[in-house]
Amino acid sequence: MKKFTVKPNPDDESLFETISAIDHAGDEVITYVIQEKPISLYLNNQEIVTLMTIGDYLEELSIGYLVNQGMLCEKDTIMGIDYEEDINTIVVRTDKKTNYEEKLKKKIQTSGCAQGTTFGDIMDNFDKINLRKDIFIKIKWIFSLIKLINTCPSLYLKTGAIHGCVLCDQDTPIIYMEDVGRHNAIDKITGYCRINNISTHDKIFYTTGRLTSEMIIKCVKMNIPILISRSGFTAWGVNLAREAGLTLIGRARGSRYIVLSGSERIIND
């Protein structure tokens, strides 16, 4: 599979601003600042949420969000996606009417950066998901992925203040998405996979963000068996990973990492 089928475009001037600032020595400098704007998401006629995003891959973000929140199922047919730029609104239309008024009453504000709203029934069927046990990761792949991802030109390297998520096939990073919140980045990958019919059952997932409960739940619901982060983790996130049989690798930097669950999938080569 081709390396970086999708990757960040740090030259897209619609995603950042150039501003002047004063540095520590009192000199005027030019710096790049990432964009952030609200996008209201509708499912048919129902307003679902307002997402704070950098504004790229909006179709993928919208579909991925709805899939990860359990609002779009495999059997649902997407009839169209309409984006109204002047009012910052995107509408996903399906083949049948939906009503999520009761679901919307059960919002939970999570620790996600920028905007982290999930819904009270996001854990539905979590304990029924069986992650593949025949998928493995070699230790040398961990180090190779870290190097490839960290050296890939990105908005993070240009502006900072942004998170990245990467779907990988063994030691090859294939889909690299960024956004102000790591939950948005993972939703973009989910949406891209749904649109392009890409299976995630045998993939490895890398994130720059914390391994919180929300990230664990979304990865498990995507049926991804291995999750790596260069950052830390929360207690509930670790507990959920162990419950689901997810291989969880945290604090992966340089030649170091910590395995928190699922060590049987790691091959010491």
47-64 per-position pLDDT tens digit: 999 999 999 999 999 999
Q: In this structure, what token pair is assigned to residue 161?
A: 């203040």
Three-state DSSP at 256 gives strand
**Nearest Cα to Cα of residue 173 among 193, 199, 147, 208:** 147
Instruction: Say yes or no to pLDDT of 159 above 80.
Output: yes
User: Which CATH number belongs to the domain containing residue 104 in this structure?
Assistant: 3.10.20.10
Residue 201 lies in domain: 137-267
CA gap 60, 78 in Å, rounded: 12
* 252 in the same domain as 147: yes
Cα–Cα distance list, 260 to 197, 205, 243 (Å): 31, 15, 12
Domain's final residue, options 68, 101, 123: 123
User: Which CATH number belongs to the domain containing residue 252 in this structure?
Assistant: 3.40.140.10
Q: Report H helices in 24-115.
A: 58-68, 101-104
Within a domain: residue 43?
A: yes
CA gap 117, 139 in Å, rounded: 35
Domain's final residue, options 98, 123, 148: 123
* 217 in the same domain as 252: yes
Task: State residue 51's pLDDT score.
Answer: 93
C-beta of residue 43 within 8 angstroms of C-beta of residue 100 = yes
* 144 in the same domain as 118: no
* 143 in the same domain as 118: no
Give how many domains the chain has, as a whole number.
2
Query: Percent of the chain scored above 90 by pLDDT?
Result: 80
75-125 per-position pLDDT tens digit: 889 999 999 999 999 999 999 876 665 566 555 444 455 445 554 566 777
Q: In this structure, what token pair is assigned to residue 77?
A: 């047919």
* 217 in the same domain as 146: yes
Per-residue pLDDT averaged across 144-171, rounded? 96
Per-residue pLDDT averaged across 29-37, rounded? 95
Instruction: Give the chain's mean pLDDT.
Output: 91
Within a domain: residue 58?
A: yes
192-238 per-position pLDDT tens digit: 999 999 999 999 999 999 999 989 999 999 999 999 999 999 999 99
Helices (H) and strands (E) in the chain, counts: 7, 16
